C-alpha cells in the first residue's frame, strides 16, 4: 500500500458525542481530499471510566485526552479529535493542535424540567447538576439558594438523571446538545454575561504529532482562521493564570471584523467572589490580549485565589 493510500487513523473517545465529532471531521476530510481512506480508532479514556468522582478529584480534563495522545505516540493513530474545552492549556511539545473547526454555539445550556425556560424561574433550593466548577461558581453567584449536585457521565446519562426526577435542572454545553440532535432539550441558552463559557467551548480541535507532515498537510484544509484567533486568546489567558482543574476559570473571545473582545473570569467555587474583566484590541494580537487580561485579574487578586485552590 502506498503512502497516499495509507489510511488516516483518527483516535477518538467512545462517547456518542466524541464519535459524532470524529465522524464529522472524517466527513470534512473526505470532502477536502476525495479518495482519502480514513479509519476511526475508538478508545476508552480514564476520564470516561471514572464516573463516581469529580474531575478535580481524579486529575482534571487532561484525563480525557491522554490515551489518545499515547495512541499517536505509539503510531496506532495519526490524529485525535477533541472538544477544545477538554484540552489543557499546555499541549505536550511533541504534539500540536493542527486545525480547529468553525466554532459552534459557545454558550451553556440550562436543561430543566417542569417547563422552566429561565434560570430565574427555578424554585428556591432547586437541585442543579453539573460537574464543572466554572458553572457551579457562576450559578452560585447568580442564585446562591440553589443546591448544586455533582453530575458526571455522557449527555444521555445526565439527561436520564434529570428525566428520572433526581434533579430539577442540569447545565450542559449548547454545542454538544446541538451536535447530538438534542437542541429541543435546551430550556435556555445562558447569556455569557450570566455564565461565561469555558475556554475553547464549542470548538472542535484536531491534534497530531508535530513531526507528522502528512497529517499536518491534510488538516490545513479544515482550519477556521477566526476560530483560531479566538481560541489562541482564550488559551493564552488560561495558560498565564496557570489554573488547575480545581480552578473556576472562564474566557470567551468574540471577533468583530479585525477587533477582538475577550472576557475573562476567575471565581471562588462557591461563587462568593467573582473576579471578571475584559479587554479589546487587534484580533492579530489575541495572545497578547489574553496575557494582558490574565495579568489584570492576577493583580486584582486572582493569583492568591488560585494558589489557595491549588494547595488547598
The DSSP code sequence of 233-250 is: HHHHHHHHHT--TTS-EE
Stated pTM of the model: 0.92
Using the structure block, give the residue that is written with the C-alpha cell 424561574. 121
Strands of 259-267's sheet, edge to edge?
Answer: 249-256, 259-267, 274-282
Asked if residue 228 belongs to a domain, the reply is no
Side-chain half-sphere of 105: how many Cα atoms within 13 Å? 17
* 75, 214: one domain: yes
- Please pick, among 86, 108, 168, 212, the residue that the annotation labels catalytic: 86
Asked if residue 45 belongs to a domain, the reply is yes
Residue 209's domain spans which residues?
3-101+203-223
Q: What's the total number of domains in the chain?
A: 3
Least Cα distance to 205 among 81, 45, 66 occurs for 81
Mean pLDDT of all residues in 186-211 = 97
Check residue 51 and give its pLDDT. 46
| CA dist list (Å): 44 to 125, 208, 252, 285 | 36, 19, 30, 38
pLDDT at 192 over 60: yes
pLDDT at 270 over 50: yes
* 12, 96: one domain: yes
* 95, 209: one domain: yes
Helix%, strand%, coil% for the chain, nearest 5:
40, 25, 35
Is 86 one of the catalytic residues? yes
* 16, 134: one domain: no
| CA dist list (Å): 9 to 71, 96, 132, 282, 291 | 10, 16, 31, 37, 35
* 152, 137: one domain: yes
Asked if residue 194 belongs to a domain, the reply is no
* 36, 82: one domain: yes
Check residue 310 and give its pLDDT. 85
Mean pLDDT of all residues in 166-192 = 97
How far apart, in whole angstroms, are the C-alpha atoms of residue 249 and residue 241? Answer: 9
Paired strand residues for 13? 43
Mean pLDDT of all residues in 202-231 = 97
pLDDT at 244 over 90: no
* 66, 141: one domain: no
pLDDT at 54 over 60: no
Alpha-carbon torsion (98, 104, 108, 110), positive or negative? negative
**Residue 113: in which H helix or E strand, if any?**
none
Mean pLDDT of all residues in 263-275 = 96
Check residue 242 and give its pLDDT. 87
Share of the chain above pLDDT 90, in %: 85
* Tally of CB atoms within 10 A around 49: 10
* 7, 64: one domain: yes
Asked if residue 196 belongs to a domain, the reply is no
* 14, 87: one domain: yes
pLDDT at 49 over 70: no
* 237, 292: one domain: yes
* 71, 90: one domain: yes
Check residue 166 and give its pLDDT. 95
Asked if residue 198 belongs to a domain, the reply is no
pLDDT at 1 over 90: no
Check residue 2 and give its pLDDT. 43
Check residue 3 and give its pLDDT. 44
Q: Return the exposure string of 258-270: e unless at least 16 CB atoms fall within 10 Å of the residue's CB, then b.
A: eebbbbbbbbbbe
* 96, 218: one domain: yes
Amino acid at each position: 500500500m502506498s503512502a497516499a493510500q495509507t489510511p488516516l487513523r483518527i483516535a477518538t473517545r467512545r462517547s456518542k458525542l466524541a464519535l459524532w465529532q470524529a465522524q464529522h471531521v472524517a466527513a470534512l476530510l473526505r470532502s477536502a481530499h476525495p479518495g482519502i481512506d480514513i479509519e476511526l480508532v475508538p478508545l476508552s479514556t480514564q476520564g470516561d471510566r471514572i464516573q463516581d468522582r469529580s474531575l478535580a478529584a481524579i486529575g482534571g480534563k487532561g484525563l480525557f485526552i491522554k490515551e489518545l495522545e499515547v495512541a499517536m505516540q505509539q503510531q496506532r493513530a495519526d490524529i485525535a479529535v477533541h472538544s477544545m474545552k477538554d484540552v489543557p492549556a499546555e499541549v505536550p511539545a511533541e504534539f500540536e493542535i493542527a486545525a480547529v473547526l468553525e466554532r459552534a454555539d459557545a454558550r451553556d445550556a440550562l436543561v430543566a424540567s417542569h417547563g422552566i425556560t429561565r434560570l430565574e424561574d427555578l424554585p428556591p433550593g432547586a437541585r442543579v447538576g453539573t460537574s464543572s466548577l466554572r458553572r457551579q461558581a457562576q450559578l452560585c453567584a447568580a442564585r446562591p439558594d440553589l443546591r448544586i449536585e455533582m453530575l458526571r457521565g455522557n449527555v444521555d446519562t445526565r439527561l436520564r438523571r434529570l428525566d428520572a426526577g433526581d434533579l430539577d435542572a442540569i447545565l450542559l454545553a449548547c454545542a454538544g446538545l446541538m451536535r447530538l440532535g438534542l437542541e429541543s432539550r435546551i430550556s435556555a441558552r445562558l447569556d455569557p454575561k450570566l455564565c461565561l463559557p469555558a475556554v475553547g467551548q464549542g470548538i472542535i480541535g484536531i491534534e497530531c504529532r508535530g513531526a507528522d507532515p502528512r497529517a499536518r498537510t491534510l488538516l490545513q484544509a479544515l482550519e477556521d482562521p477566526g476560530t483560531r484567533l479566538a481560541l489562541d486568546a482564550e488559551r493564552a489567558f488560561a495558560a498565564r493564570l496557570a489554573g488547575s482543574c480545581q480552578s473556576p476559570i472562564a474566557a470567551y473571545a468574540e471577533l468583530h471584523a479585525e477587533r477582538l473582545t475577550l472576557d475573562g473570569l476567575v471565581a471562588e467555587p462557591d461563587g462568593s467572589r467573582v473576579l471578571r474583566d475584559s479587554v479589546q484590541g487587534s484580533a492579530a494580537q489575541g495572545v497578547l490580549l489574553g496575557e494582558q487580561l490574565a495579568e489584570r485579574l492576577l493583580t486584582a487578586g486572582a493569583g492568591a485565589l488560585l494558589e489557595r485552590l491549588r494547595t488547598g
